[in-house]
Amino acid sequence: MRALYAQSGGVTSVINASAYGVIDEARKNGLEIWVGINGVTGILKERFLDATELDIEFLKHTPAGAFGSCRKKMKNEADIQKLFDIFQKYNIRYFFYNGGNDSMDTAWRVQVEAQKRGYELKVVGVPKTIDNDLPHTDHCPGYGSAAKYIAIAMMEAALDLRSMWVDSTQVFVMEIMGRHAGWLAAAAGLGWLNGIGADIILLPEKPFDKDEFIAAVDRVVTKKGYCTIAVAEGLKYPDGFFVSDMGYTDSFGNRQLGGVGFTIAGMIRSELGLKIHVAIPDYLQRSGRHIASATDVEEAEMCGRMAVRYALEDNYGVMVTMERVSDSPYQIRYSSVPLNLVADQTKMLPKDYFDGYEITEKFIRYALPLIQGEPYPPYRNGLPDYRMFDIG
């Protein structure tokens, strides 16, 4: 029997640590482990890599998807039939799918189809998303490192702004990923623990009121001369429409968003006449392995290992989850949840984690353990020594 692992959706700085966990645990348990190149898209093209004897040590400190990712939903009957023809052809009996909301939907569909067809297949989802919006788990691998990156980036940008505002830029805007939930944007406020962070945080969970927002910016600038703003890409008006809807959808059916930072900067410039700089970290925030969280790396690897253990224990059709036992000392336990309870579901930032345009003490207690530790990658020539497989 053969096991298959694949990566799906937007990548993170620690998704390869989960890959390491799956592959190493599978090998320790005597499984022949293959990897699908570019998720189900590559599997349908029979693009595989035999990882049974592969050198995988570097995966623990390399960001992004070492085996390629994809954004494909398995809704087409022809694709589903082809997928199971391929599974049968190569005797695939375990399938570990590493992804977020939409990827868990794919994993669930594959498990249901296997049961319908009477095909022996154990599917386990390995969680991953910087958005931290998968339900039934305390947090997701990828979030802690991205949150750490955003917090540090905002601190450093705020110090720059503080240096220059007297006769230059007075407002800095950072546009942060987060389509429906504001978990990552909220992290821009964590720097206040060390004295400097985002003055205003705009979240999808708080409907955007232009007049209220402009008044808030004016108050901050009047008080100290400058203002730092973090805005989630999924910021919405009270009627539910995205402030930055680009007018089309991706292959998962999600509305494509972009430019919300420039949109609100234009509002500030028009209403207050201030000079503004806008930054969009984009891919940088999700693949910034040089300043990752040690907690995140360790948990990402363990989620991969637990996926294999659950499958071998006949606990399948599930996603690996983490349950928080305590904040201080920080402690979690691993568990699982049926895939159908996760598929296409979104966990929003709780209302008691933010107050107006600021984060609360409760969010800080939640997020702080997730950004601890600096597991720096090895360096060569003064740069991170990242390695990748040749996957074409």
Catalytic machinery residues: 131
DSSP 368: G
Residues 46 and 10: beta-carbon distance below 8 Å: no
CB count within 10 Å of CB 88 equals 12
333 is in an annotated binding site: no
Tokens of 315: 């606990």
286 is in an annotated binding site: yes
- H or E element: which one contains 231? strand 227-232
**Whole-angstrom distance, CA of residue 13 vs CA of residue 145:** 7
Dihedral sign (CA 128, 131, 137, 139): positive
284 is in an annotated binding site: yes
Residue in this structure with the two tokens 């930072």, named with its chain if needed: 261
- Which among 210, 234, 217 is positioned nearest to 276, based on CA atoms? 217
Phi, psi of 99 (to 5 degrees): -170, -165
- H or E element: which one contains 18? helix 15-28
CB count within 10 Å of CB 360 equals 17
- Over its C-alpha atoms, the chain yields an Rg (Å, rounded) of 22
283 is in an annotated binding site: yes
DSSP 302: H
129 is in an annotated binding site: yes
388 is in an annotated binding site: no
Residues 203 and 232: beta-carbon distance below 8 Å: yes
Q: Are β-strands 171-176 and 122-127 bridged in parallel, bridged antiparallel, or unpaired?
A: unpaired
**Whole-angstrom distance, CA of residue 7 vs CA of residue 23:** 13
285 is in an annotated binding site: yes
**Whole-angstrom distance, CA of residue 47 vs CA of residue 103:** 19
**Whole-angstrom distance, CA of residue 169 vs CA of residue 371:** 30
111 is in an annotated binding site: no
Residues 350 and 338: beta-carbon distance below 8 Å: no
12 is in an annotated binding site: no
Which residues contribute to the annotated binding site? 10, 101, 129-131, 177-179, 233, 283-286
Which residues contribute to the annotated binding site for Mg(2+)? 101
Which residues contribute to the annotated binding site for diphosphate? 10
Which residues contribute to the annotated binding site for substrate? 129-131, 177-179, 233, 283-286
